[in-house]
A and B are shown apart, each in its own frame.
Chain A
Amino acid sequence: MGKKIEIHDFEPKIMAFVCKWCTYSGADLAGTSRMDYSPNVRMIRLPCSGRIDPQFMIKAFEQGADGVFVSGCHPGDCHYNEGNYYARRRNTTFRQLLDFNGIDIERIEFSWISAAEAIKWTEVIDAFTDKVRELGRHPQYNDDIVDPYAQFLVQKKQESA
């Protein structure tokens, strides 16, 4: 019943910032329904998509994520009435900002997924993982932001070996 397991050279790291009322429950439903979806995604549950500060996404990229996924309730369904409307405006501008900086906005995905849309969740995550896998590692940004302390530790380890 499960999907065929494929082996790839590169497995992207994908951070997902999700709303606890809709998308997290949707992903939960996918799990309890024994659906398969790409294991590359690392989820962080937040109270609302309006809580998702662009700072989180910037930090995720800085820490080596290859793609960032943002998701919340459909417009009109927000548990706090209006949080996802703010999220929508924020992401509209944030994407343009990243684009102006020369960071591929294909690496950011925004999606409305409700608690009942487990199938949509698996589809969107699989498609996004494939897209990021094709784009490859996020070289431009990652090369610049390698942590000097981590580099030092690696170097020390190599020397002692």
Chain B
Amino acid sequence: MIEEIRNQARQLLENGEVDVVIGYAEGSDPSRTTPIFVRKAEDVEKLIYDSRCINSLPIYLNKRHEYTRKGWKKSAIIGKGCDIRAIVQLIAENQLKRDEVYILGVPCEGVVSHPDKWDGSLHDGNRASKCTGCDVMTPHETDFFPGEKPEVDRSKPYEVTSPKVANLMELELDKRFAFWRTDFDRCFKCYACREVCPHCSCNVCITDETTPSWIDPAAHKKGIFSWHLTRAMHLVGRCTGCGECTRACPMDIQVDLFNQRMKEVVQESYSYKPGYSLEDKHPLITYKVDDREDFIK
């Protein structure tokens, strides 16, 4: 499978169709892989793909990052299904044009939840929770796919993959608050969850604004709830569920539970699944006259 991808990448670079191929290469130790930017055709042998490739590459297509300002006209990117969802969402939000990116889709069997849990193979003990119930193991939007692409039914509603969301929803309000309070106690606002998110596109993040300062930047408790609520609110209807925020968190706070819950809410209220359509607008920038308003007095 990877041979075909390499051949295609080599061809693209030799013909000058793309300026760079973004993919994965062997990392610093056997359990890790690292993102790689291949610009010369002879370097394509470095490209790999297997279950250790957990990084979400579409952040390198996000205009917030300097890679996109290097003058590269077209980038090819190796995408597993969940990454392609993020790319599709970026295109739907006009952050990226469809002809600026060449998607090399890979068939995916799931990835590990964390490099530390890699023991040579992928099994139920170390598979990431987002991979259960995944309907894009055969990617949906590709320019190149090794072999035949089977038809997959993707019309099913979004499925919450982390059992913790349902468990939390069963708890009483106070208990739920206590859970988040103990979790957020560890947060020191490093904003790794923001940096790793493919959908945080603002040039100046609201946390970096100083006039007015919406979220207290100091590492004490003030502002931690504000930050996590703000982050989750900005991603309502846009999060494609790559789960990178939780993986990147140095304090193991499960910040993507918020996003999963909100995906569920958006699916219930507006039957919208982010990351599947290049045209559909996300639900908070559009409306219907007969939306639900059962909470309004």
Contact = CB atoms under 8 A, between A and B. Distances in A.
Contacts of B76: none
13 contacts: A55-B214, A86-B285, A89-B283, A89-B287, A92-B269, A92-B295, A93-B236, A97-B258, A101-B225, A102-B175, A102-B179, A111-B297, A112-B296
A85 B222 contact: no
Interface in A101-118: 101-105, 109-112
A98 interface: yes
B225 A145 contact: yes
Given A88-B291, A96-B265, A101 B284 contact: no
A97 B206 CA distance: 19
Nearest to A147: B222
Nearest to B179: A102
Interface string B212-227: 0010001011111110
Contacts of A141: 225
Interface in A38-85: 54-55, 58-59, 62, 75-76, 82, 85
Contact of B174 (A93, A124, A140): A140
Interface residues of A, number: 40
A82 B291 CA distance: 13
B176 interface: yes
Interface of A: 54-55, 58-59, 62, 75-76, 82, 85-86, 88-105, 109-112, 124, 140-141, 144-148
Contacts of B228: 101
A102 B265 contact: no
B9 interface: no
A59 B221 CA distance: 14
A88 B296 contact: yes
Interface string B277-297: 000000111011101110111
A85 B291 contact: yes
Contacts of A146: 222
Contacts of B1: none
Nearest to A50: B287
A124 B237 CA distance: 31
Interface in B153-191: 168-169, 173-181
B39 interface: no
B261 A100 contact: yes
The 4 closest A-B pairs by CB, nearest first: A102-B177, A102-B176, A85-B287, A111-B297
A148 B284 contact: no
Contacts of A103: 173, 177
Contacts of A85: 287-289, 291
Nearest to B269: A92
A58 B206 CA distance: 13
A97 B239 CA distance: 14
B221 A145 contact: yes
Nearest to A140: B177
Given A91-B295, A96-B265, A102-B178, A144 B225 contact: yes
Given A100-B168, A112-B296, A140-B174, A89 B291 contact: yes
